[in-house]
Structure 1
Amino acid sequence: MIEVMKESEGALLGVHVSGLLHEADYRMFLPTLEERFRDYGKLRVLFYADESFEGWDLRAAWEDMSLGLKHASDFERMAVVGAPEWVNWCMKLSAFLMKGEIKIFARDELDDAWAWVKG
């Protein structure tokens, strides 16, 4: 499941993910994300994975990769919080394609992640 976090406002978007992400999750979330890109251009995103997060199924992974490539220069900052180590490594590799900054945080560093992504 993908949910917009209540702390989101303007170009700051907090995304809470849980369980195994499916294409349907992206289909529901993409209009919100595209609207933010239209309204604000570049975004600062906090990606929060709770303890139930398992990753992406194949179609959802494709949607995520397509989104990342389409908007590679539109992420000003991205904080990745609480994700499994394999996701952190994927994010570090994708940093070579993105223009913005990516920083990894442990789940108990959520407040620090918000402060950094807002910074």
Structure 2
Amino acid sequence: MTQLLNIEKENVIAAKIKGKITKRDIEKIHPLIHTITKKGHKVHFYFELEEFHGNGPKGLWADLKVDTAHISEYGKMAFVGEKKWQEWAVKAMDFFTGSEVKYFGFQDKAKAKNWIQNN
């Protein structure tokens, strides 16, 4: 389940992801990507991974690449999680993407929000 979160920056998509990511979840996020890119902005992402059992952040990234025409318009990505494997997956993803990707523990959620909004 994906719950969209309110972040006051118009070019940031923020969501809490709990459990597994579904096609419906991606369908919620995809139009937001188009809205931001049509305004000429890079899209930045903030994701809170709570009890996340999905494909991992790397799987989420693969799902978000549905619209490869905009891949170069993706900016920073902040992942807030609770598991060591999530941190490792984010570090691996940072190596393979052109985006700046960072992992934060839940205790650093405010730091993650601050980092993603300063783009």
With normalisation by structure 2, the TM-score equals: 0.76
Aligned length: 114
3-state SS in 2 of match to 1:73: helix
Partner residue of 1:67?
64
3-state SS in 1 of match to 2:39: helix
Asked if the contact 2:81–2:87 (Cα under 8 Å) also holds between the matched residues in 1, the reply is no
Cα deviations by residue, 1:7-31 (Å, 9 ceiling, x for unpaired): 2431122121112112222123322
3-state SS in 2 of match to 1:96: helix
Comparing 98-107 with 34-43, greater Cα deviation is found at 34-43
* Alignment partner of 1:26 is 2:23: no
The 3 A distance-change label for structure 1 pair 115 and 28 is closer
Of all paired residues, the percent bearing the same amino acid is 21
Partner residue of 1:88?
87
The 3 A distance-change label for structure 1 pair 47 and 97 is same
Cα deviations by residue, 1:38-59 (Å, 9 ceiling, x for unpaired): 2243122211112x221249xx
The 3 A distance-change label for structure 1 pair 98 and 72 is farther
Comparing 101-110 with 2-11, greater Cα deviation is found at 2-11
Asked if the contact 1:12–1:43 (Cα under 8 Å) also holds between the matched residues in 2, the reply is yes
Structure 2: segments with no counterpart, 5+ residues = none
- CA RMSD of superposed structures (Å): 2.5
Q: 2:15 is aligned with what amino acid? A: V
3-state SS in 1 of match to 2:86: helix
Asked if the contact 2:37–2:43 (Cα under 8 Å) also holds between the matched residues in 1, the reply is yes
Structure 1: segments with no counterpart, 5+ residues = none
Cα deviations by residue, 1:86-112 (Å, 9 ceiling, x for unpaired): 232222222233222111100111101
3-state SS in 1 of match to 2:52: coil
